[in-house]
Amino acid sequence: MHHCLLHDTVAPMRHGFLLVDKPKGLTSHDVVAAVRRQLSEKDIGHLGTLDPLATGLLVLAVGKKALKVVELFSDLSKTYDASVLFGAVSTTYDAEGTIERREPPKGWMVPDEIIIQCMIADRFVGKIQQVPPAYSAIHIGGERAYHKARQGRGVNIPPREVEITSCDILSYSYPKLALRVACGSGTYIRSLAHDLGDLLKCGGYLEALRRTSVGAWSVEDAVSLDRVSWAQVIPLKEILRTFAKCELSQEEFAHLSCGRDIAGEVTYPAIGWFDDLPVALLEMKNAMVHARKVL
């Protein structure tokens, strides 16, 4: 006789999200590898990469169950503090690339802060078309763009719509401009720096970048890489409390765990709870409640 195993709801849930303050010089994958070692946990991923040059908030999903719900957090807004350097351009649009001085056209004058502010408001706030850098992890024809760029092959990345909700000047003294940017998922601050320099006819690239928030999470609540421990992992039940909640009976949970649908109505994304623990990611299928994923 085939039995469906119920999850062990007594054992502590070593699954959740971890907020890490990424140091400069490491890739997001380096951080994941380091945390895997420190927590002795192989199932770790992140909610959105940060370039090696950037520092700040990297949200990691720790444990199999946490990895299963990453899809719910793919479109979170982000805020950044960015430092732009004018008067030069970079192949990667940041300080990692080959830097080349840009001679401004004859009669060019150093733009004052008001002009820059007006240009930003006019061209870089709201829903805009943005071309990602050639040196980026975007897939072009089944291959990452940076692979093609490194081999000197032409990279033709089509523009995409991104949303910048605000872009404020923190300080400015030519050639340095400090910005605070709030934006939607998929926005490249490197491209913003490059495009602004282009528009001002003096060239520009991203000299430094710090991500200060992802969704409601702030870098102020993040832990440095050398202080990572299980105590800092935010439990999955806390992470998922804000989603629509569907309380399940033991029988309903048993059905869903076995791949059988149950009667009812939910709006995706909804979380099925049993015994005060999140146990399934629910959606509607053929007018029945279906477990898209069993946690």
Q: Is residue 2 part of a domain?
A: no
- Which residue segment(s) compose the domain that 278 sits in? 240-294
Q: Is residue 3 part of a domain?
A: no
Mean pLDDT of the region 26-49: 94
**Calpha distance 192→233 (Å, rounded):** 33
Residue 51 catalytic?
yes
Q: Is residue 8 part of a domain?
A: no
Q: Is the dihedral of CA 165, 171, 172, 175 positive or negative?
A: negative
pLDDT at 1: 42
For the stretch 193-218, pLDDT in tens is 999 999 999 999 999 999 999 999 99
Q: What is the pTM of this model?
A: 0.88
Q: Is residue 27 part of a domain?
A: yes
Average pLDDT over the chain, rounded to whole?
A: 90
Q: 111 and 200 share a domain?
A: yes
Query: Checking DSSP bridges between strand 270-274 and strand 244-247, what pairing results, if any?
Result: parallel
**Calpha distance 244→240 (Å, rounded):** 9
Q: 194 and 248 share a domain?
A: no
Q: 86 and 183 share a domain?
A: yes
Residue 101 corresponds to which amino acid?
R
Q: 38 and 99 share a domain?
A: no
pLDDT at 74: 87
Q: In sequence order, which residues have a C-beta less than 8 Å from that of residue 20 and are 6 or more positions away?
A: 31, 35, 57, 58, 59, 60, 222, 223, 224, 225, 228
pLDDT at 237: 93
Given 3-state DSSP classes, what are the helix, strand and coil percentages for the chain, each rounded to the nearest 5? 25, 35, 40
Query: How many independent structural domains does the chain possess?
Result: 3
Catalytic residue among 21, 51, 94, 195: 51
277: domain CATH number is 2.30.130.10
Q: 105 and 187 share a domain?
A: yes
pLDDT above 70 for 121 = yes
Q: Is residue 1 part of a domain?
A: no
Contact criterion met (CB below 8 Å) for 191 and 131: yes
Q: 101 and 186 share a domain?
A: yes
For the stretch 237-284, pLDDT in tens is 999 999 999 999 999 999 999 999 999 999 999 999 999 999 999 999
pLDDT at 12: 46
Q: 220 and 198 share a domain?
A: no
Q: What element of type H or E holds 197?
A: helix 189-199
Residue 112 corresponds to which amino acid?
D
Q: Is residue 10 part of a domain?
A: no
Q: 282 and 266 share a domain?
A: yes
